[in-house]
Structure 1
Amino acid sequence: MCGRFALTATADQTAAFLGVGELQDFPARYNIAPTQPILMALAAPPRPPGSNLPDREALLVRWGLIPAWVKETRGFPLLFNARSEEAAGKASFRTAMRHRRALVPASGFYEWQQSGAAKGQAYWIRPRHGGLVAFAALMETYAEPGGSEMDTGALLTTAANPAIAHIHHRMPVVIEEKDFGRWLDCRRQEPRDVADLLKPAQPDFFEAIPVSSLVNKVANTGPEVQERFEAPPEPKQKAPSTTTPEDTQMSLF
């Protein structure tokens, strides 16, 4: 799964990477969490002949997809991830997978190595050679009972590659730049036509950097959440004594 990520590139760098029009300046975001606004790129509506407008557009959506058929959001689960293997057939994601595939720009994501029932060591997982990465995503516009509309979205995940699997068994789907157009083209490319893109990133694509538990709290939003930190190993518990009272007595024999 992917429950936290970061976008620290500038607006100009992000717009150029996605191939969208000019973006309004925004601050670096080091700890983006579900229910917060995230940037998405989608295919733009058909342009008139000769138009110089880009064929992709950007919008802010709430991270946590709400299907259009939901009547009451209270009690409905927060769908911030969607399993890519199931999205095309699952009721919550089927329509978005066919009509509203999207890209989410990121500088990397966070994952936790489980330690029993609790979160263990946190990792900042970023492209090994730096720069931005685009996660496969889905967008859905939800019409609230009062009449207002809210754009919502979810990230697609897949099985983790061998370099990440020791941390977590899932990872976000990465769409390569050469495949942006095909992934976003929902008019001509059906879900089955882009299924080959829903695969783990190459094992050498990401590097995992251990970080502190600061990232666990949404309120921590500064660059310090990405500073390298490795928790010391837990001390080994002393084995209980197996001696008997007789063993402790002095003996003349």
Structure 2
Amino acid sequence: MCGRFVLNVTPEEVADYLDLIGLENFPARFNIAPTQPILIVVEGAQPEPGSNLPNRQAMLVRWGFMPGWVKDPKEFPLLINARSETAIGKASFRAAMRHRRVLIPATGFYEWRRPAKEEGGKPQAFYIKPRKGGIIAFAGLMETWSSADGSEVDTGAILTTAANRSIARIHDRMPVVISPEDFSRWLDCKTQEPRDVLDLMKAADEDFFEMIPVSGKVNKVANTGPDLLEPVAEVLAPAPRDDVQLSLF
């Protein structure tokens, strides 16, 4: 799954990476949590013929997906992630998979390795980021929920997939990362049906991410400083490609 993530680059870097029309200023965020606003990117209106201007647009949504048919949000679970394997057919995500696919910029995410009961001990938090640095774009879905009084809330979720072997040493799921060359196809909900983008919903390559053990300060939403990214132990190396043993170090 993906329960916390980081976006600590400038608006200009995000706009350049995702080819956006423009982007308002925002602060670096080191502990983005469910129910908080998250930045998403959507495909905008078709540009005029011959125009080279980008048509992607950024907007803020609440991290916690709410299908349009929900009547009482208090009685509906908070959907921060959507399983890519079942999102096409699941009632909660079916319409968004067809009509409202988005990109969610990030610079990394947190995951926790939870020891087996017989091992004892506390969960270890890891900051997982691209080995080469820079920005990544999670595959996401959005939905606008309307209440009985007519008010609306834009909501979103991150698509996840089975973890590759490296990440599986920590957790069995990981966010789906869309490569820049596939941005247009993922966002194109007019000509690309869900079955046409199934090939994009896969785990990143084994050596794409590095996994950095960090302190338990990330467990508290109130902690939001850059110190959350400081290593507390040796960085977890990628799993050897011929390795069949799962070990932490």
TM-score (norm 1): 0.88
CA shift, 1:47, in A, is 3.1
Is this contact kept in 2: 1:84–1:156, CA < 8 A? yes
Is this contact kept in 2: 1:121–1:230, CA < 8 A? no
> SS state of the match for residue 168, structure 2?
coil
Q: How does 1:103-142 map to 2 (within 5 A)?
A: 103-116=103-116, 120-142=123-145
CA shift, 1:48, in A, is 3.4
Answer yes or no: is 1:177 the counterpart of 2:177. Answer: no
Count of residues in Structure 1 that have an aligned counterpart in Structure 2: 231
Instruction: Give the structure 1 partner of residue 194 of structure 2.
Output: 191
> SS state of the match for residue 214, structure 1?
helix
RMSD over aligned Cα atoms: 1.4
Answer yes or no: is 1:200 the counterpart of 2:199. Answer: no
Q: How does 1:145-156 map to 2 (within 5 A)?
A: 145-156=148-159
What 5-or-longer segments of structure 2 have no aligned partner? 235-249
CA shift, 1:49, in A, is 3.0
State the alpha-carbon separation in 1 of the partners of residues 110 and 34 from structure 2.
Answer: 13
CA shift, 1:164, in A, is 0.6
Instruction: Give the structure 2 partner of residue 223 of structure 1.
Output: 226
Is this contact kept in 1: 2:163–2:173, CA < 8 A? yes
Is this contact kept in 2: 1:211–1:227, CA < 8 A? yes
Of 198-207 and 118-127, the range deviating more from structure 2: 118-127
Letter matched to residue 72 of structure 1: D
What 5-or-longer segments of structure 1 have no aligned partner? 232-253
> SS state of the match for residue 89, structure 2?
coil
Instruction: Give the structure 2 partner of residue 18 of structure 1.
Output: 18
Letter matched to residue 39 of structure 1: L
> SS state of the match for residue 171, structure 2?
coil
CA shift, 1:133, in A, is 0.4
CA shift, 1:11, in A, is 0.3
Instruction: Give the structure 2 partner of residue 43 of structure 1.
Output: 43
Identity %: 62
Letter matched to residue 30 of structure 1: F
State the alpha-carbon separation in 2 of the partners of residues 3 and 29 from structure 1.
Answer: 14
State the alpha-carbon separation in 1 of the partners of residues 75 and 51 from structure 2.
Answer: 45
Query: Max radius of gyration: which structure?
Result: 1
Answer yes or no: is 1:85 the counterpart of 2:88. Answer: no
Q: Decide whether aligned partners of structure 1 residues 119 and 26 sit closer, same or farther in structure 2, where only a CA change above 3 A counts.
A: farther
> SS state of the match for residue 135, structure 1?
strand
